[in-house]
């Protein structure tokens, strides 16, 4: 059995949690780690985040020190606060 870091900690490589793999797969690397898109208001899982959503969420978190909230339109596009349709967009964040 191999050990892997948890998905939440794998990106920054500071994880102290060790998870037993159910098979002999190699531990995940930072580029292989799954990043999940969540609804900001409810915290519920929506789907796996795209690379664009992950990057936008990181930028938002760095600029405001918060959760990295982004506006995601129904078609999956990322909107800015002043964009047409932004009022109806879903407030989301990416959990790494």
**Which residue in the block uniquely carries the two structure tokens 């995601």?**
72
Number of domains forming the structure of the chain: 1
5-40 tens-digit pLDDT: 444 444 444 444 444 444 444 554 555 567 999 999
Task: State which residues form the domain around 79.
Answer: 33-95
Residue 16 lies in a domain: no
Helix (H) or strand (E) holding 90: strand 90-95
Residue 77 lies in a domain: yes
Residue 53 lies in a domain: yes
Residue 70: how many other CB atoms lie within 10 Å: 27
Model pTM score: 0.65
Per-residue confidence (pLDDT) for residue 34, from 0 to 100: 78
Residue 60 lies in a domain: yes
57-93 tens-digit pLDDT: 999 999 988 999 999 999 999 999 999 999 999 999 9
Q: In 3D, which of 34, 65, 40, 70 has the Cα closest to residue 53?
A: 70
Residue 28: how many other CB atoms lie within 10 Å: 16
Residue 52 lies in a domain: yes
């Amino acid at each position: 059995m191999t050990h892997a870091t948890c998905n939440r900690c794998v990106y920054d490589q500071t994880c102290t949690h060790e998870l037993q793999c159910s098979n002999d797969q190699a531990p995940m690397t930072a580029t292989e780690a799954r990043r999940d898109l969540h609804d900001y208001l409810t915290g519920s899982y929506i789907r796996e985040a795209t690379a664009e959503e992950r990057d936008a969420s990181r930028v938002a978190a760095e600029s405001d020190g918060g959760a990295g909230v982004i506006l995601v339109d129904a078609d999956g596009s990322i909107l800015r606060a002043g964009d047409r349709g932004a009022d109806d967009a879903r407030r989301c964040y990416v959990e790494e």
